[in-house]
Structure 1
């Protein structure tokens, strides 16, 4: 017997759609924190029952908005606010500082996070022969925009599939494609398209990010990275910082520290081994940089996070 809760029909009003999406997200997030939807790997929810302090994190290429509550994100020197009517689009994996602004136990912050597969983006661009963006629009790989009703409806339909898992294999790819298409056709979708234009600056910086992620634990040779993406060292530095808010070396450091945090959360107890695993050969430096980013020494930070998620 199917015991899945009945899914309501698609509400007609914007407020109704938002409330229905929040209700589903609330059911699938029993505790605060991040919740990956195994049935739909591109989809995850975040729940906070109170406003948060500023937290450093890495945002992947994604569409993000609040089904309930609001949050402010800082990237580079700019800040971005999103809520139930505004979304955030990240077009490159990048470090951000986030702070949940509106949340309570009765009305928790509930975030819809849709990770974008750039291969799907490339397929859509090629299939529909979308015009290439103007190179001059290259900038920080994050932007905010108004959440259109069409995009909200598509996000709700994807979320709604969680209640009818037998339909996910057929319908989820179609709705994911619709979400990406609507983003590409919006003014905020230009940066996504830039990342796919061969030999564009955005394309080269995306390749540089991929290379750093694949070799983050190794000593970085900037001249080698510049050759890999066919840029001069000075041009790489300038455009990498334009896109991510960090230099390549700073970006690598963030990757190392976030991976160290992930390992510590898995109950790794030897900080020295963790530091060495992510590329640090100086334990004191690792302690200093970890505390500077996360606000507490490695073990203390890991214990706090485990306690918060318990």
Structure 2
């Protein structure tokens, strides 16, 4: 298994301002979230998270987003690649990716404290249209997930974004400006190259992202990879190559992950039984669903749901794939 936990750059933690800003961000998030484990804020796309114990691995789907940790450490598995990020490294996700997520460093005295910010592709394209924005070239076959160094400038922008939660009247005017700054700083880094490629019309990554978006919206339908290649405007082998490069899985595996996560959400949130949830997400055989669910989540469907409902280590948010 590959492990990625750095970007090859010099560490911003050497700058004394980094520690000051990180501690300031942790205090601001902790003050606002209180004893809650998760708070979806009034700032569009901004979610705050706090955990006082390590969590069990949770199968979820990450949207295009930035995750910044103010305190603690987290592990994300994408296929056979493990991403470790912490107080000095952020996680950037450029497309919807089914992953396994786990908080691995958190205590009552020193909780895990982080923020997640959804990234709007319209804002990414808006910034890319400006001649002044220079971005590094994308590395071939790099995945749509990357670890990068959390710079002083990025921490400063995150602090100012969280500050708006204490002055709600300023959110409509200023939150968009700060989010543009954050995206700008991501695009200027090596890790932002894949985000740029996915947002750029005509790029192979952008074409593959179109196929991924269609599959996410239509995961319950039978999958014809030939039709998916037509949607992307790519040859079959080219689509397979780029799809696996971005997501670390084949289109069929990606669809299976979406179906299983959606079924889990339907059972957990809507109270459906296993057979009904299986058919709703596109399975024709309940026994096949049970086998694949048990392999994916480690136990049969209803036992897993009972476990989630009774366990304090349940996922922060059950995934609902619409």
* TM-score between the two structures when normalised by the length of structure 1: 0.89
Does the residue aligned with 2:284 lie in a helix, a strand or coil? coil
Partner of 1:172: 175
Of 139-148 and 124-133, more deviation after overlay is shown by: 124-133
Structure 2 residue matching 1:71: 3-state secondary structure: strand
The answer for the alignment partner of 2:144 in structure 1 is 141
What's 2:129 paired with? 126
Alpha-carbon contact 1:35-1:46 (below 8 Å) kept:
yes
In the other structure, the counterpart of 2:28 is 24
**Distance apart, 1:32 and its partner CA:** 6.2
CA distance in 2, matches of 1:177, 1:276: 42
Match of 1:76 in 2: 79
**Greater relative CO, 1 or 2 (CA 8 Å, sep 6+):** 2
SS in 2 for 1:208: helix
| One of 26, 36, 40 as aligned partner of 2:40 | 36
1:83 and 1:67 map into 2 onto residues whose CA distance is 8
2:61 equivalent in structure 1: 58
Stretches of structure 2 that go unaligned for 5 or more consecutive residues are 1-15, 317-322
Are positions 1:93 and 2:103 aligned together? Answer: no
In the alignment, structure 1 residue 158 sits paired with structure 2 residue 161:
yes
1:290 positional shift: 1.7
Decide whether the 8 Å contact of 2:143 with 2:248 is kept in 1.
yes
Tell me whether 1:190 sits opposite 2:193 in the alignment: yes
Matched, 1:232 2:235: yes
In the alignment, the residues of structure 2 paired with residue 32 and residue 79 of structure 1 have an alpha-carbon distance, to the nearest angstrom, of 28
Residue 242 (structure 1) aligns with: 245
- In structure 2, the CA distance between the partners of 1:34 and 1:287, relative to structure 1 (3 Å rule), is farther
- 1-structure distance, mates of 2:147, 2:125: 22
> Hey, what does 2:293 align to over in structure 1?
290
The answer to whether structure 1 residue 15 and structure 2 residue 19 are counterparts is: yes
Query: Given the alignment, which residue of 83, 96, 115 partners 1:112?
Result: 115
SS in 2 for 1:13: helix
**Alignment CA distance shift 1:248-1:129 (3 Å):** farther
Q: How many angstroms does 1:15 deviate by?
A: 2.4
Equivalent-residue separation in structure 2 for 1:199 and 1:237 (angstroms): 17
**Is the Cα–Cα contact under 8 Å of residues 136 and 189 in structure 2 kept in the other structure?**
no
Over aligned residue pairs, what C-alpha RMSD do you find?
Answer: 2.1
Residues 138 and 191 in structure 1, CA contact (< 8 A), matched pair in contact too = no
Task: Provide Cα deviations, 1:104-136, integer angstroms capped at 9, x if missing partner.
Answer: 122111121111111110011113464576465
1:301 aligns with 2:304: yes
CA distance in 1, matches of 2:118, 2:273: 33
Match in the other structure for 1:9: none
Assess, with a 3 A threshold, how the Cα gap between structure 1 residues 163 and 132 changes in structure 2: closer, same or farther.
closer
Unaligned 5+ segments in structure 1 are 1-11
TM-score by length of structure 2 reads: 0.86
1:253 equivalent in alignment to 2:244: no
Instruction: Please tell me whether the aligned partners of residues 132 and 197 of structure 1 are also in contact (alpha carbons under 8 angstroms).
Output: no
